[in-house]
Amino acid sequence: MGQIRVACQTYTWEMLGDQWHGKVTDLLDWIADAGYAGIEITNNMIAEFADRPADFKAELKKHGLELAGFAYSSSSGFTDPDAWEDDIEGARDCLDFLSHFPGVCLQLGGASHPSRDDAFNKLNQAVELYNTVGYLGANAGVVIVVHPHSHHGSLLESEVEYRYLMENTHPWYVSLCPDTGHIVRGGQELLPCLETYLDRIRHVHLKDVDAEGEWIGLGQGVCDYPAMFELLESADYEGWVVAEEESEDARRDGIAAITSNRQYLRSIGY
Which tens digits make up the pLDDT trace of 10-23? 999 999 999 999 99
* pLDDT greater than 70 at residue 172: yes
Q: What pLDDT is attached to residue 3?
A: 87
Backbone angles phi, psi at 89, to 5 degrees: -60, -40
Backbone angles phi, psi at 183, to 5 degrees: -60, -50
How much is the pTM? Answer: 0.96
Backbone angles phi, psi at 41, to 5 degrees: -120, 160
Spans of all domains in the chain: 5-267
* pLDDT greater than 50 at residue 167: yes
**Alpha carbon 144 to its chain's center:** 11
Question: Which whole number is the average pLDDT over 146-152?
Answer: 96
Q: How many CA atoms lie within 13 A of 88 on its CB side?
A: 14
Give the separation between CA 48 and CA 58, rounded to whole angstroms.
14
CATH number of the structural domain 5-267: 3.20.20.150
**Residue-wise burial string across 145-157, b where 16 or more C-beta atoms lie within 10 A, e elsewhere:** bbbbbbeeebbbb
In order, the DSSP letters of 155-187 are: S--SHHHHHHHHHHS-TTTEEE--BHHHHHHTT
* pLDDT greater than 70 at residue 25: yes
pLDDT in tens, 195-252: 999 999 999 999 999 999 999 999 999 999 999 999 999 999 999 999 999 999 999 9
* pLDDT greater than 50 at residue 1: no
